[in-house]
Amino acid sequence: MAETFNADFILGSFDFPGRFVSSEVKTDGIINSTFLICFDADGVQEKFILQKINTFVFRKPDELMQNIAGVTAHIREKGEMQTLDFLKTKDGSYYCTDSEGNCWRCYKFVDGVYTCNRIDSKEVFYNAGRAFGKFQRLLCDYPIKTLYDTIPDFHNTPKRLEAFKEALAKDTEGRAASVKDEIDYILRNEDKAYILTNLCKEGKIPLRVTHNDTKLNNILFDKKTDEGVCIIDLDTVMPGLSLYDYGDSIRFGANTAAEDEPDTRKVSLDLELFRAYTEGYLSEAKDSLTPAEAEHLAFSAYLMTFELVIRFLTDYLNGDVYFKTGYPQHNLVRTRAQIALCKDIDSKLTEMKKIVKEYCHA
């Protein structure tokens, strides 16, 4: 379905400067809908990012926006990194709700930046690691207890496994028989789902304020310097594990192919990109990591990929109700691409651990 917004409602809800000139779809992810909207204020162009919050996924937009307001204020106060800046509604709220119950928010557009879904440059991926490492460092003294869980058990892989088994048992779409290999892959590896949550329960790895959706396209890079200047897509900022953030960045950004590449032969983990991100991330985060966190960095890339295998296949079995899809088999194609990546990561774990050690001790 074409992504649109009701211009009269939006223009009436926020105090935009000047005259509305144009809008374009900027959606990059597979959950929210995003638009760039432009205004002319006495000859000066003013740009904003307008977003429809997916309230099927984020059930409590009010709590979510309170999280983002707190976290962005904290980052801004430190003065070391740019962060998202809201435009409040005319009645002073962080978002508005239209007659259909959709929630809309607006951010000031950050100029002079670019985003990307794939990267070949080691230097830029090093900068991505630094940006997320810095984000973690800047939030290490944020009062974690004040954060709401915007999606409870978001990265709780055992719970994801349970949801998968439930979908499999129900098989509402009658799809299970056609994805036997993919189901078997999950069941053969299910023990791995418990490793990080168990370490957390045992107190060996701490809960931290984490981003939880550290895809490459959630970093704004400076067009001139290629530095990662601003972390965006803050809906899932909540208590989590640093390993989720590190692992998911590797899963998405060190893949030699797209997350949904249909030709699985193109999918692999690029060890040079892995090295670059690890070096950048650890240059910022090394001092705060516990030994158990450092020891599981390489494994976390496997786990986050495995978690996406589980989530994409669950959604496929449920009839594609969660992730946006571009075509009927999209979630299955995503599942297969993530399984291919899991297998490749698994074969490279020893080498990856060696690389991590180099930068942990540097």
CB of 89 or CB of 335, closer to ligand GN1: 335
For 25-37, the DSSP string reads E---SSSSEEEEE
> 223: exposed, middle or buried (C-beta count within 10 Å: 0-12, 13-18, 19+)?
exposed
Which of ligand GN1, Mg ion, ligand ADP, none binds 312 (CB below 5-8 Å, type-dependent)?
none
Which residues are CB-contacts of 169 (< 8 A; sequence separation ≥ 6)?
none
Least distance from Mg ion to the Cβ atom of residue 217, Å = 5
Least distance from Mg ion to the Cβ atom of residue 28, Å = 5
Select the residue interacting with ligand GN1 from 176, 182, 213, 302 (CB under 6 A).
213
CB of 231 or CB of 269, closer to Mg ion: 231
Separation in Å, CA 195 to CA 6, 14, 244, 303: 46, 46, 12, 9
Which residues are CB-contacts of 105 (< 8 A; sequence separation ≥ 6)?
50, 51, 53, 65, 86, 94, 95, 96
Map the footprint of Mg ion across residues 195-234, applying CB under 5 A: 218, 233
For residues 3 and 25, give the distance between their C-alpha atoms in angstroms, rounded to a whole number. 7
Quick check: helix, strand or coil at residue 144? Answer: helix
CB of 56 or CB of 92, closer to ligand GN1: 56
Give kind and range of the element (H or E) at residue 11. Answer: helix 7-13
How many amino acids of this chain bind Mg ion (CB under 5 A)? 4
x-marked contacts with ligand GN1 along 18-37 as a string, rule CB under 6 A = -----------xxx------
Helix axes 122-138, 242-253, angle to 10 degrees: 160
Asked if residue 324 binds Mg ion (CB under 5 A), the reply is: no
> 120: exposed, middle or buried (C-beta count within 10 Å: 0-12, 13-18, 19+)?
exposed
Phi, psi of 269 (to 5 degrees): -95, 120
Which of 50, 45, 17 is CA-nearest to residue 35?
Answer: 50
x-marked contacts with ligand ADP along 242-271 as a string, rule CB under 6 A = ------------------------------
Select the residue interacting with ligand GN1 from 11, 36, 38, 57 (CB under 6 A).
57
For residues 166 and 310, give the distance between their C-alpha atoms in angstroms, rounded to a whole number. 12
CB of 94 or CB of 185, closer to ligand ADP: 94
Asked if residue 217 binds ligand ADP (CB under 6 A), the reply is: yes
Q: Which residue number is nearest to ligand GN1 in terms of Cβ?
A: 29
Asked if residue 236 binds ligand GN1 (CB under 6 A), the reply is: yes
- Phi-psi map region of 353: left, alpha, beta (phi>0 left; psi -120 to 50 alpha): alpha
Select the residue interacting with ligand ADP from 109, 142, 148, 322 (CB under 6 A).
109
Map the footprint of ligand ADP across residues 24-53, applying CB under 6 A: 26-29, 31-32, 34, 49
Q: Which residue number is nearest to ligand ADP in terms of Cβ?
A: 29
Contact set with ligand GN1 (CB under 6 A): 29-31, 57, 213, 215, 233, 236, 259, 308
Binding region for ligand ADP (CB under 6 A): 26-29, 31-32, 34, 49, 84, 107, 109-110, 113, 115, 217-218, 220, 232-233
